[in-house]
Structure 1
Amino acid sequence: MGAGSEGDVAVGRGVGRTLVFTYGTLKQGFSNHGLVQEMIRSGEASYVGVYRTAERYPLVCGPYRVPFLLNIRGKGQQVWGELYAVTESGIARMDELEGTSRGHYERLPLRVAGGNEGVFEDWIGGGDDDEVAEGEEGTVVRAEAYFAHRSYAGELWKCNGERGYCVYSEKEARGYIKRKDRPQGLTFLDHIQAFVSSSPLVE
């Protein structure tokens, strides 16, 4: 696959690293960024830069203003976020936070755009054509992101009137409640179901 190809490119990896696109509370200045800071200190993650999705995806808020990226490509907007190069052990820590084994989020591939090809020399061997493509918006690279689980993503989209944000900023996060401060005795999925059930937009 040559540079500039519109096809999929491989997941950006270096020596045991995966590029992870963060769009919500793992970003700098938000409540879960402490985990990323710990991973940077331990050598499990490195900051790459500010990127946005190469395609449009819905970014919405659910219960307690928790952000969710929905795997409904072509809907919503191109979403801004931060890109990190993460080791295998770091991925395991992120998976645990995002509840991938419990049906909370799914870690799935997507393409992100921005920066320049030289940024990836440390992670993907100097910009291999199978890993990086040059497009109209700059370097396009395959990464992974934590999407809302498919079991409830469609209902969240309806709850938000099928309208999404381009970035999860302080404005969108206003009213966010940390996990430890939410009502106890209910699971994450219980909170999702209650939020969806209370929406007049979901039949």
Structure 2
Amino acid sequence: MAEAPPTMVFVYGTLKRGFPNHPLLAASASPFAGAVSTAAPASLVIGPYSVPFLLPTPSSSSGRLISGELYSASPLALAKLDALEGTHIGVYERRRLTVVVDGSGEAVEAEAYFAHPSYAEALWRRCGGEAAEIGEYTMDHAARYVPPSGRSPGAAGLIDAIHGFLATTPDN
């Protein structure tokens, strides 16, 4: 039985080259396919632990084109990414989107990790809505990033932090 073909994956945060979780992609031999941006506006906010969250655009007036990178991930690499992103416990969900390759303008169908819909809109509001949206996760954001090893155990530590973050008000 032949192995499934690679999946094109759009990364926009800690998995980019030079960022804290990129070694996971490098170790899985997922080839870099180019610098890209989303074809349609989306919302990107920074949540607990300085973790970036790509959200479906909550309203027609908000959202930006999000910069990131495109990788070709094997089924094994995709399974490792799903584990990191906590898809099994509802932290993120992998969804299709179209990205545009910088320079060539070629449109490519890819998958990306979006905040789970069970909390996405509440997270957007709690982060400050449209005023908090960014177009790119930068090294300044990554400097405040807390890796999974510095949190409560595994991906569950992140979902617990999200729920706690949503339960507080901005001035608490």
Whole-angstrom CA distance in 1 between matches of 2:127 and 2:158: 19
Structure 1's unaligned 5+ residue stretches are 1-14, 118-137
Letter in 2 for 1:197: A
SS in 2 for 1:187: helix
Contact preservation (8 Å) 2:6, 2:75: yes
Equivalent position of 2:158 in the other structure: 188
Matched, 1:16 2:5: yes
- TM-score, normalisation: structure 1: 0.74
Whole-Å Cα distance in 2 between the matches of residues 90 and 22 of structure 1?
A: 13
**Aligned counterpart, 2:111:** 144
Equivalent residue, structure 2, for 1:62 = 47
- CA deviations on 1:152-189 (whole Å, 9 max, x unpaired) are 11011001211311000012333211221125697322
RMSD: 2.0
2:151 and 2:158 in contact (8 A); partners too: no
**2 CA distance for matches of 1:70 and 1:30?**
20
* Secondary structure of the corresponding residue to residue 95 of structure 1: helix
SS at 1:56 equivalent: coil
Q: Which has the larger radius of gyration?
A: 1
1:28 is matched with which residue? 17
- 1:84 aligns to what? 71
Query: Does the CA contact (< 8 Å) of 2:36 and 2:102 recur in 1?
Result: yes
Indicate yes or no: 2:138 matched with 1:172.
no
* Per-residue Cα deviation, 1:88-130 (whole angstroms, up to 9, x for no partner): 121111111111111110000001012467xxxxxxxxxxxxx
TM-score by length of structure 2 reads: 0.87
Structure 1 residue aligned with 2:36 = 51
Amino acid at match of 1:111: T
Q: Structure 2: any 5+ residue segments left out of the alignment?
A: none
